A and B are shown apart, each in its own frame.
Chain A
Amino acid sequence: MSSHAEKQSEDIKQMKVVNKEKLTQKSFKANTLDFLIEKMFFVFGSIAVFVLLLLLYFLVREGSSALQEVGILTYLTETRWYPSSPQGAGYGALQFIVGSIMVTIGALVIAIPWGIFTAIFIAEIAPKRVREILKPVVEVLAIFPSVVLGFIALVILSPIVANVFDLSNGRTALTASLILSVMALPTIVSIAEDSLRSVPKDYREAAYALGASRWETIKIVTFPAAKSGILAGVMLGFGRAVGETMTVLMAAGNAISMPMTEFMGITVPNFLASVRTLTANIAIEGSDVSWGSLHYSSLFVLALILFVITFVVNLIADLLISRQRRKLTNE
């Protein structure tokens, strides 16, 4: 009996020793693998940042001669654009900036309510079966090639716009806004719906238990709780709209002029005018500009302006979203 017990304790001792040895020996293989994987992730992450910086550097370098000779103010405030004219060249890009902003805002004015109501419908109201069909259908809109949508705008939408508003040319800022809103819609719907659905069901239960109706629950509880996510969706939609080139090129008419009109004594943007956006202008002139000329450099300035607009909007969105999140969690 006692010898048996001794034997057992010996066994245990031996096992402990083995364990201790194992504890203090980390295998070479595991060590290296850990190290390599960690570095690999770091490298991939860094490459993304590096590429971004490289692009920015490239934009600034190629645009620098125009910035030095013409000056940024000319681009931002003047409206004469004759970059290749030997005499009396003009570098005013304000009409492109206005065109880009108009088309984008027009698209968002349509897509935001449309997208948010669709998202609320899918997330809160639609029965499960309808939701399972509707969401993929909306998301399929995002995979339409932009040239196809542009073509539809060109041959179907612009004649309608021309008819309705009695215009000779239906390719206007409005036409571009309409088709862009369709392109921004899936982004807004998809992200807004996700964030609505991620609102804890506790909030909904609490609201219902207090006697709130479904609409009141959405309005006062679910929607505010999902606001930051919805805002993120709207910002991505903005990015989609402001950077879109091909569709706008085909739908907006591309006239180089300030799309303004007098309305009751005030100058207002004219959505029924043909406009050219920053992106469209780069696309139109980029292919046959002479390399290294001031015109060439100017196009990089336009790209830089576009970059700054998107960057600022995204920055503001980030700030708003993180502020909202802090408010929610009280951190």
Chain B
Amino acid sequence: MTAFQTAVKENKKKSPVVQENINKEESIFSAKGLNLWYGNDQALKDINLDIRKNGVTAIIGPSGCGKSTFLKTLNRMVELVPIVKTSGAIDYHGVNIFDPSVNLVELRSSVGMVFQKPNPFPKSIFDNVAFGPRVHGVKKKAELKEIVEKSLRGSGLWDEVKDRLGESAMGLSGGQQQRLCIARCLAVEPEVILMDEPTSALDPKSTLKVEELIQELKKDYSIVIVTHNMQQAARISDKTAFFLNGEVVEYDNTDTIFSNPQDKRTEDYITGRFG
């Protein structure tokens, strides 16, 4: 190995490999020098990442690598933990979301979120989907009905529940509950949907349904999904970012990441050598 090759290799370890073509695409989020601490533990280290508009961006990496933290930073849900401190910026439509003037209600209604564990409210199916619109001031029953139907159709749940909208959401199966949560998220008409391991609590059949749904949704929404499941990332995403120890190691087209990773650590992870 020549000195030059070694240098290139070293360099790769330090800075994330970001393909040029990604930078050229229109991005929806653009993280710049983002750092995040839980108390004294730094969970995110100098993240520079452009998340492209439309399509599915997957974030993979071993447990504790900061991928969920990064996702929750995008709608500032991470701040529900009181000891969180951040520095750096995330640009969203030209606004730094950490700016004190940012209206969290607006941010969160355009950046929706689906959680790891299906978390419908202990209310009726209808009330679950209508929750967001109601909070945002929709009062007319007819209008709510329309939104609920549209959202449930959007999440592929309408045919399964249309005759029992008044029943408790807790009576649905896990997979149905997760699709209800997606419908609830769609009801506030977001631009981006963040998904935090949305299928990790589901059986394979429900997982498949949710994955198919993500393929449908990506036509109209930008989706960022954190997943533990690398096959899932390979199946459904267009771009993949590999996180390790709070840093972005590699970010590229999903095909490239899985067929021809540039960084040794990425290769080790996707081939199952660790993680």
Contact = CB atoms under 8 A, between A and B. Distances in A.
A132 interface: no
Interface stretch (B10-18, B165-173, B233-241, B261-269): B165-173
A211 B135 contact: yes
Which bracket fits the contact residues of B? 20 to 34
A328 B80 contact: no
Nearest to A213: B105
A128 to B, nearest CB: 8
Contacts of B82: 127-128
B106 interface: yes
Contacts of B181: 206
B135 A208 contact: no
A330 interface: yes
Contacts of A220: 131, 134-135
Contact of A216 (B75, B104, B112, B135): B135
Nearest to A325: B122
A208 B112 contact: no
Interface string A184-212: 00000000000000001011111111111
A207 to B, nearest CB: 7
Interface string B54-80: 000000000000000000000101001
Interface in B127-169: 131-132, 134-136, 167-168
Contact of B106 (A200, A202, A208, A211): A211
B119 A203 contact: yes
A309 to B, nearest CB: 32
Contacts of B117: 202
A330 B167 contact: yes
B38 interface: no
Interface residues of A, number: 24
9 contacts: A206-B121, A206-B181, A210-B108, A210-B132, A211-B105, A211-B108, A211-B132, A212-B132, A328-B122
Contact of B112 (A205, A210, A225): A210
A206 B113 CA distance: 8
B188 interface: yes
Given A221-B121, A327-B122, A209 B113 contact: yes
B47 interface: no
A200 B135 CA distance: 20
B115 interface: yes
B185 interface: yes
A329 B123 CA distance: 10
A210 B80 contact: no
B184 interface: yes
B176 interface: no
Contacts of A207: 121, 131, 135
Nearest first, the 8 closest Cβ-Cβ pairs linking A and B are A202-B119, A330-B171, A211-B109, A330-B168, A209-B113, A211-B108, A210-B132, A328-B122
Interface in B79-127: 80, 82, 104-106, 108-109, 112-113, 115, 117, 119-123
Contact of A327 (B132, B168, B184): B168
B168 A209 contact: no
Nearest to B120: A206
Nearest to A329: B170
Contact of A210 (B122, B131, B170): B131
